Amino acid sequence: MSSVTVAEYIWLDANKKFRSKVRTIHHENFTAPKYLDWDYDGSSTGQADGNSSEITLRPVFICDNPFSNFRDNHILYSKLVLCETFNVDGTPTNSNTRARAHEIFSLPSCESVKPWFGLEQEYFITDNTPGVGAALSPIQETSEHYCGVGRGIMYRNIAEEHMAACIKARINISGINAEVSQNQWEFQIGPSVGIKASDELLMARFILERIAEKYGKSICYDPKPFANINGSGCHTNFSTSVMRSNGGIKEIHRVIQNMENSHADNMTLYGENNEKRLSGKYETSDYKKFTWGVGHRGVSVRINNRTHSNGFGYFEDRRPAANMDPYLVTSAIMANVI
C-alpha cells in the first residue's frame, strides 16, 4: 500500500525573502519519504536569467507542518522542507549563506566544543496594505508595554499562535514576550547546537510570516523603523562546552577579546541598516565602538550576572539586527572561538 507525503519546499530568493512551493511524495506505507532535490525558475526570483533559469533546491532541514490540512489515512506526513539553493554549475547562489556556514560548523574543531546558540528575534507586526506593502503606522514606546498585560498590548493572538505552531512543528522555541515598543514582540529559539539554531530561526520566521499572512498583517524585521523608539535586534546568546564548565569565564573573556579585534568586520555581517539602530541610545551600543560589561544592556557584548558570579555560563552578543542572516552571524561568532 502506498502513502503520500505533502512537502512544502522553502527557500530564500535574491533578496533573502521566503519563497515556497509544494510537492507530493509517494512512498510505501510506513516508510520514510525521500526528499529529493527539486528546481525552480530562478529568473522569477532574481537569481538567474531566462537563458538558464533553473536553480536547484537541496533539502537541509525538515520539520512537521503545523498548518497541515492534508492528514488522513493515506497521507502519513505533511512537512516543511528548508532548502539550500544552487546554480546550474553546482555553486551556491549568492543568497545561500548556509553552505559556507555548514563547512565551518562541520569542522572537527567546531563540533568538539559543542556550540550552543540562543537567538532572540524581535519584530514589529504591521498592517498590510494591498499594492503598497507593509504600512507602518505611528507607534509609541511605553514602559508599560515590555512584558505587559492589557494596557494597549496588541497582536498577542499572533505571537501565541506562532509559538504554538513552532511547538507543533517541533522547533526549539523557548519563549515569547511583548517588547518595549507598541506592536513589537519577540520570540526565542534555542539553546540549539551549531547550525541547527539558524535553521530553526529561519523556519520560525517562515511560520510567523505565514500566520501574519492569514491575518492580513506583515512582519517587519527592520532594525530601526522609527527614529525615536527602540529598534529591533536579534540578540545572540552563545556558549561552548568549555564556557559551560567550571572556570569557563576565562574562555568567555578570551573569545570576547577576539570579538573586539574582529568588530569592524563582523558589523558588516550583522544586518542591513544596523548602524541606525546601534546609536548608543535606546539600550544599544555604538556601531563603531566595541564594548562589553557585566549585566549592562548598553554594551556590544553582555555577560549576565549569574555567569559572572558562577564563573561559567554564556554571553550575549547584543549587536545583531533583527534582519540579520543567522548563518553569517553564528559562523562569525564561531570564528572567534576556533
- pLDDT per position in the chain (338 positions), as tens? 678 889 999 999 999 999 999 999 988 877 888 899 999 999 999 998 877 789 999 999 999 999 976 555 555 679 999 999 999 999 999 999 999 999 999 999 999 999 999 999 999 999 865 444 445 555 666 668 889 998 788 999 999 999 999 999 999 999 999 998 889 999 999 999 999 999 999 999 999 999 999 999 999 999 999 888 889 999 999 999 999 999 999 999 999 999 999 999 999 999 999 999 998 887 788 899 999 999 888 899 999 999 999 999 999 999 999 999 999 999 999 999 98
Instruction: Sort 279 into a burial class: Cβ within 10 Å, 0-12 / 13-18 / 19+.
Output: middle
- Same domain assignment for residues 68 and 133: no
Supply 299's cell numbers. 554594551
- Same domain assignment for residues 90 and 165: no
Q: Is residue 184 part of a domain?
A: yes
Q: Which residues of 229-267 are buried (b: 16+ CB within 10 A; e: fewer)?
A: bbbbbbbbbbbbebbbeeebbebbeebbeebbeebeebb
- Same domain assignment for residues 136 and 14: no
Residues of the domain holding 49:
2-96
Residue-level pLDDT at 133: 42
Q: Is residue 305 part of a domain?
A: yes
Supply 177's cell numbers. 514576550
Residue-level pLDDT at 246: 97
State the DSSP H helix or E strand holding residue 176, giving kind and residue range, or none if neither. strand 173-178
What CATH code is carried by the domain that includes residue 256?
Answer: 3.30.590.10
Q: Which of 268, 270, 286 is nearest to 322 (CA)?
A: 270
Q: Is residue 141 part of a domain?
A: yes
Q: Is residue 102 part of a domain?
A: no
- Same domain assignment for residues 166 and 91: no
- Same domain assignment for residues 90 and 112: no
Cis preceding-peptide flag for 191 (omega within 30 of 0): yes
- Same domain assignment for residues 71 and 116: no
Residue at a domain's end among 29, 62, 96: 96
Residue-level pLDDT at 152: 80
What CATH code is carried by the domain that includes residue 45?
Answer: 3.10.20.70
State the DSSP H helix or E strand holding residue 228, giving kind and residue range, or none if neither. none
Residue-level pLDDT at 131: 44
